[in-house]
Amino acid sequence: MYLKRLEVTGFKSFAAPLEVDFHKGVTSIVGPNGSGKSNVSDGIRWVLGEQSAKKLRGAKMEDVIFAGSDSRKKVNIAEVSLILDNEDGYMASEYSEISLTRRLYRTGESEYFINRKACRRKDIVDLLIDSGLGKEAYSMIGQGEVEQVLSSKPEDRRAMFEDAAGVLKYKSRKQESEKK
Ligand code: ATP
Ligand code: MG
């Protein structure tokens, strides 16, 4: 399983539809300061379920919607899709390609899709938790988080390794069943 493509429209600095193709192995994104490199990783984080505007480097969630520039007026919808190659069946899905989409309207309304079919946010989160790709699963490691790993206490480090090893999904299911 690997990230095959990212499709972005109206998200942060990407006003017009943009498709970024990835391949197996290492990909680097290079470009001048302010050209949108971090916005690409913010887009991935966003689809993976990020709920904190601050972690997306904004003050409120609406800040992910393209706010306009000198040459373009603002838009009212941000949409990002991650296309995952699942030829190897790693994800718990019958499909060999899985697209995950998140959409936000300026009115505050959100929509989520799996393979272009409307679903709940929870459906995406559950699919990702099962595969170890969830937002707390260290599949994304941000600037500053490396230092956090090195400087944290042994107990905190253990929690990180547990999360990364996939124990997290059992913990979150346990918490859920305890709530019921
Ligand atoms: P650096 O090399 O400095 O890290 P970068 O390539 O990572 O730069 P980003 O942080 O991804 O750059 O992009 C910053 C740009 O995105 C800024 O010009 C900012 O104005 C623009 N931007 C962020 N959010 C929005 C938005 N909602 N609407 C329009 N532009 C936005
Ligand atoms: Mg950056």
pLDDT in tens, 76-128: 999 999 999 999 998 988 999 999 999 999 999 999 999 999 999 999 988 98
Residue range of the domain that includes 180: 141-180
Q: Are residues 79 and 161 in the same domain?
A: no
Q: DSSP character for 66?
A: -
Which of 65, 84, 163 has the alpha carbon at shortest distance from 124?
Answer: 84
The pLDDT of residue 166 is 67
CA distances for 147 relative to 141, 144, 152, 153, 157, angstroms? 11, 6, 8, 12, 12
Ligand nearest to the CA of 143: 2
How many independent structural domains does the chain possess? 2
Q: Are residues 123 and 73 in the same domain?
A: yes
The pLDDT of residue 44 is 94
Residue type, 16: A
Q: Are residues 130 and 145 in the same domain?
A: no
Question: Atom 23, ligand 1: which residue's CA is nearest?
Answer: 12
Whether ipTM exceeds 0.95: yes
The pLDDT of residue 169 is 66
Q: Are residues 119 and 155 in the same domain?
A: no
The pLDDT of residue 168 is 63
The pocket around ligand 1, CB under 6 angstroms, is made up of: 12-13, 31, 33-39, 63, 65-67
Q: Are residues 105 and 157 in the same domain?
A: no
Q: Which of 8, 11, 13 to mutate to test the pocket of ligand 1 (most atoms within 8 A of CB)?
A: 13
| Alpha carbons 98 and 86: distance in angstroms, whole number | 7
In angstroms, what is the span from residue 70 Cα to ligand 1's centroid? 14
Percent share of the chain, pLDDT over 90 = 64
The pLDDT of residue 149 is 76
Q: What is the pTM of this model?
A: 0.88
CA distances for 57 relative to 29, 40, 49, 142, 149, angstroms? 19, 12, 15, 12, 21
